[in-house]
């Protein structure tokens, strides 16, 4: 087990001193090695020496995804390629990917931080872990792989896809810890059932899920289908990959590895700082990165920070489950709607399965929201009246929670596309 008590249970004041020293080092490094940042500093008249307290982080420029894209591929690297031992990239939907690098020290830090997250979830060297994340440019596969090896678990590097084989391997190899996206976990449960295998009869006891949002209700669904302990973990390529934050076994919320990441919450529109407990966009400054140290990276992820000490003994701030991305927020008839709010409603309806799609279109000048959701096989019927009653019930729930009307379309079990990676829930036709 990797539990770095010295850092994970640190006195807050000592932690802040460590954070400041590391922030100063990072700022110095970035200023000296990355022309993009030096120019940005000079433009606003800030020098590395101006950072004398943690609050001074606000003097630094925010970094957006656009800056990473504009400096493709190596423009923001603060280490030479000779010092860089690994490249990862985030695919993005259009154009060039975002490229990040790791020195040998970065790899060591990354491995340790993922190992912490794995240990928080209760995985040990007694576990056999099946890693069903894609291996390759995606940080999920390799990130969890190295972390699991550090913990001493037996790694089955299954990667994603070939789902029937995944189930066979779980059974034959005695997999106890499952690693995947939440949506792939649900898909795997479905495939197991189609093979005549109850997922609960498999040896899996704990799941580490991440890479995409997952509401509480969705977690509960996974837990019920698999009969396992479900944990969430968070990260992003731009600041490292997985290993930024993870859930412990005591209280809700994901512990942020704050000795390596300085976090802020800002108002996504005004960019003004928000307090603990207030909902806003997470901004992250990695404090120990060598090859790719971005400053104040705007994650676009919406969450709330909770500084309350946790029963587990860790003193690090916890982040709530991600509500969604500010760029995924739909504005429908002037109302802000996050896909996660729709998911939360759908997951309360017993007749529907956790497979849905949100379609937004325009009819004339008006936005139209349609929710396609699968019926559970046991509720499947061709009785029109019954179907209509279910649709109306969902329509009513949605109006109550979201304050707007949506067209609800029930579709047959297994008719929506399944994913072995991150689910694409929203189709915006506007």
Which spans of this chain sit near ligand DLL (rule: CB under 6 A)? 90, 133, 138-140, 210-213, 232-237, 241-242, 299, 301, 322, 325
Residues facing residue 88 across a β-bridge = 100
Q: How far apart are CA 404 and CA 395, in angstroms?
A: 9
Helix, strand, coil percentages (3-state) for the chain, rounded to 5, are 35, 25, 40
- Least distance (Å) between residue 97 CB and ligand DLL: 10
| Comparison of 204 and 245: residue with beta carbon closer to ligand DLL | 245
For the record, the structure tokens of 278 come out as 């207030």
Smallest distance from ligand DLL to CB 218, Å: 11
* Residue the block writes with tokens 């390799």: 142
Question: Which of 140/293 has CB closer to ligand DLL?
Answer: 140
- Whichever of 51 and 322 has its CB closer to ligand DLL, that residue is 322
> Minimum distance from CB of 345 to ligand DLL (Å)?
18
Cβ of residue 274: shortest distance to ligand DLL, in angstroms? 18
Minimum gap (Å) between residue 135 Cβ and ligand DLL: 12
Token output for 265 = 């919450």
Q: Are 158 and 131 in contact (CB under 8 A)?
A: yes
* Least spacing, CB of residue 275 vs ligand DLL, in Å: 22
Q: Could you tell me the smallest distance in angstroms from the CB atom of residue 191 to ligand DLL? A: 21
How distant, in Å, are the alpha carbons of 80, 156, 201, 227 from that of 176? 40, 11, 12, 12
Rounded to a whole number of angstroms, the minimum distance from the CB of residue 412 to ligand DLL is: 29
How large is the C-alpha radius of gyration of the chain? 22
Which CB sits closer to ligand DLL, 322 or 346? 322
* Residues making up the chain, counted from first to last: 430
- Which lies closer to ligand DLL via its Cβ, residue 52 or residue 93? 93
The helix/strand/coil state of 183 is helix
Residue 79, number of CB atoms within 10 A of its CB: 22
Q: Which is nearer to ligand DLL, 44 or 66 (CB)?
A: 66
> Measuring CA to CA, which residue among 144, 134, 195 is closest to residue 169?
195
Which CB atom, from 90 or from 361, has the smaller least distance to ligand DLL?
Answer: 90
SS3 59: helix
Distance CA 248, CA 336 (A): 32
Q: Residue 225 CB: number of other CB atoms within 10 A?
A: 19
What does each C-alpha distance from 416 to 121, 249, 355, 413, 419 come to in angstroms? 31, 34, 7, 8, 10
How far apart CA 149 and CA 118 sit, in angstroms, is 10
Closest CB to ligand DLL among residues 119, 233: 233
Position of minimal CB gap to ligand DLL: 210
- Nearer to ligand DLL by Cβ, of 236 and 360: the residue is 236
Residue 195 per-residue DSSP state: T
Smallest gap, in angstroms, from Cβ of residue 25 to ligand DLL?
25
């Amino acid at each position: 087990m990797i539990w770095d008590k010295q850092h994970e249970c640190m006195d807050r004041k000592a932690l802040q001193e460590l954070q400041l020293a590391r922030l100063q080092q990072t700022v110095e490094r970035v200023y000296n090695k990355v022309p993009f940042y030096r120019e940005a500093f000079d433009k606003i008249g800030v020098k590395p020496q101006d950072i004398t307290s943690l609050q001074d982080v606000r003097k630094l420029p925010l970094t957006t995804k656009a800056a990473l894209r504009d400096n493709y591929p190596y423009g923001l690297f603060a280490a030479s390629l000779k010092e860089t031992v690994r490249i990862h990239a985030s695919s993005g939907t259009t154009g060039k990917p975002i490229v990040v690098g790791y020195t040998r020290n970065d790899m060591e830090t990354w491995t340790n931080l993922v190992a912490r997250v794995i240990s928080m979830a209760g995985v040990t060297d007694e576990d056999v872990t099946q890693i069903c994340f894609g291996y390759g440019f995606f940080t999920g596969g390799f990130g969890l792989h190295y972390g699991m090896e550090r913990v001493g678990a037996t790694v089955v590097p299954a990667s994603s896809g070939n789902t029937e084989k995944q189930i066979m391997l779980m059974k034959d190899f005695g997999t106890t810890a499952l690693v995947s996206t939440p949506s792939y976990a649900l898909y795997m449960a479905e495939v197991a059932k189609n093979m005549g295998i109850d997922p609960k009869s498999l040896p899996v006891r704990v799941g580490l899920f991440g890479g995409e949002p997952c509401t509480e209700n969705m977690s509960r669904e996974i837990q019920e289908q698999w009969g396992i302990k479900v944990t969430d973990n968070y990260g992003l390529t731009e600041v490292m990959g997985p290993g930024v934050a993870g859930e412990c076994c005591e209280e809700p919320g994901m512990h942020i590895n704050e000795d390596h990441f300085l976090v802020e919450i800002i108002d996504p529109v005004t960019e003004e700082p928000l307090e603990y407990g207030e909902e806003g966009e997470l901004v992250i400054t990695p404090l120990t990165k060598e090859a790719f140290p971005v400053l104040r990276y705007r994650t676009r992820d919406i969450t709330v920070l909770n500084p309350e000490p946790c029963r587990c003994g860790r003193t690090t701030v916890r982040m709530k489950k991600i509500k969604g991305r500010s760029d995924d927020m739909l504005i429908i008839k002037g109302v802000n709607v996050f896909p996660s709010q729709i998911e939360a409603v759908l997951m309360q309806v017993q007749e529907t399965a956790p497979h849905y799609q949100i379609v937004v279109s325009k009819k004339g000048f008006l936005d139209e929201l349609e929710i396609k959701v699968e019926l559970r096989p046991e509720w499947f019927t061709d009785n029109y009246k019954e179907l209509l009653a279910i649709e109306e019930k969902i329509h009513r729930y949605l109006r109550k929670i979201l304050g707007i009307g949506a067209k609800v379309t029930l579709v047959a079990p297994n008719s929506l596309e399944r994913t072995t990676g991150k689910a694409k829930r929203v189709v915006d036709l506007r």
